[in-house]
Structure 1
Amino acid sequence: MKAKILALAVIVFMAGSTLIGCGQASKQDAKSVKEDAKVLGNDLKKGAVDTSKEIKMTVNENWKKFENRSQSAITATDAQIKTLRTKMESAGKAEKEKLTIALNQLEQKNEALKNKLAERGKEFKDGVISFNETTMANEQEFEREFTHDMDEIGAALKDLFKDNVD
């Protein structure tokens, strides 16, 4: 009977030691996981801030390049309109009226594009634009539309005098 009790005591002691040892390891693993989660969370926050800064820097650089190209194109269009106005003087009276109306419309469109560009530049300067993942797509859309409008004005100017005055 003593042997049975002794064997039972040894088994209970071994089982208790095993359970207590596993419980301690689980607690340490839980602490380690919790610390890793905190570090990972901090890394994610830092990564999000870095990404936002990178997006802002990229969008600003692209905007400056686009703004310079657009201002040059607008200036060239203004010069072309002035040149065409002087060239128009050799046209007949009826043709001159028609061309004047068309040039005035193109000049108004060009002025509207100047204002649109200036307004967008002011938004950048004042920091009104929020910089996130969609900002780059929005800016590309704006640039695409603006370039399309500028191309339309340029094509209209070329077509205006193609057949009329040489």
Structure 2
Amino acid sequence: MKITSQLKTNNMKKSILVFTSVTLLSGMVFLGCESSSEKVDTAEQAVTDANNELEQANQEYLADIENYRTETSSKIEANNQSIADFNLRIAKEKKEVKEDYKKKIAELESKNSDMKKKMDEYKADGKEKWEAFKTEFSHDMDELGAAFKDLTVKNVK
């Protein structure tokens, strides 16, 4: 009889332990779950945050375009001033030399004008296209600047 009562006591202890463990685990699971309204609130906040980040990125993109337009406009204006200054300097050159310089200046003036037109006509059409346009345009502007520099260096000699 003693053995059976010990077995019953051990079984009872095990049952109480299992019941307590299951109750604690159930409570933790229940407390850890978000309600559906909390999930909706979390999702709405994530969408709002994503929209804010998108708007900020778009504003930075448009500001980059505007800054670049201003920068290139200044370079184009400087090129125009170089053309005017160069025309004044070559006025006293011999006729043959002057005609050669006038042709070169006309080419550079045309390229400068084309670059201005290209920049003015650019429409914001996505960041990737903007980066490609900006890279190509910067390369073309650098080449134009080098051509102006070469012309003035040759004239100084």
With structure 1 as the length reference, what TM-score do the two structures score? Answer: 0.66
Question: Number of aligned pairs?
Answer: 155
Query: How far apart are 1:137 and its partner, in Å?
Result: 6.1
**Which of 1 and 2 has greater Rg?**
2
| Counterpart residue identity of residue 151, structure 1 | G
Between the aligned partners of 2:30 and 2:149, the Cα distance in structure 1 is 73
Mark the CA change 1:156 to 1:35 in structure 2 (over 3 Å): closer, same or farther. Answer: farther
* TM-align CA RMSD: 3.7
Contact 1:81/1:157, CA 8 A, preserved across alignment: no
Between the aligned partners of 2:47 and 2:156, the Cα distance in structure 1 is 59
Match of 1:53 in 2: 55
Deviations 1:59-116 (A, max 9, x none): 3223323312321321232233234335434322321232122112211221221122
Query: How far apart are 1:11 and its partner, in Å?
Result: 2.2
Between the aligned partners of 1:19 and 1:156, the Cα distance in structure 2 is 86
Q: What are the equivalent positions in structure 2 for 1:106-145 lying under 5 Å apart? A: 106-120=108-122, 123-124=123-124, 128-130=125-127, 141=135, 144-145=138-139
Q: What are the equivalent positions in structure 2 for 1:14-163 lying under 5 Å apart? A: 14-28=16-30, 30-32=32-34, 44-120=46-122, 123-124=123-124, 128-130=125-127, 141=135, 144-145=138-139, 148-163=142-157
**Once the two structures are aligned, what percentage of the paired residues are identical?**
12
Query: How far apart are 1:24 and its partner, in Å?
Result: 0.5
Pick which of 75-84 and 38-47 moved more.
Answer: 38-47
Query: How far apart are 1:51 and its partner, in Å?
Result: 2.8
Between the aligned partners of 2:57 and 2:137, the Cα distance in structure 1 is 17
Between the aligned partners of 1:94 and 1:101, the Cα distance in structure 2 is 11
Query: How far apart are 1:9 and its partner, in Å?
Result: 4.4
Deviations 1:19-60 (A, max 9, x none): 32133134225515x999877665554444333322222232
Q: Which has the higher contact order (CA 8 A, sep 6+)?
A: 1
Between the aligned partners of 1:27 and 1:95, the Cα distance in structure 2 is 91
Mark the CA change 1:37 to 1:51 in structure 2 (over 3 Å): closer, same or farther. Answer: same
Gaps of 5+ in 2: none
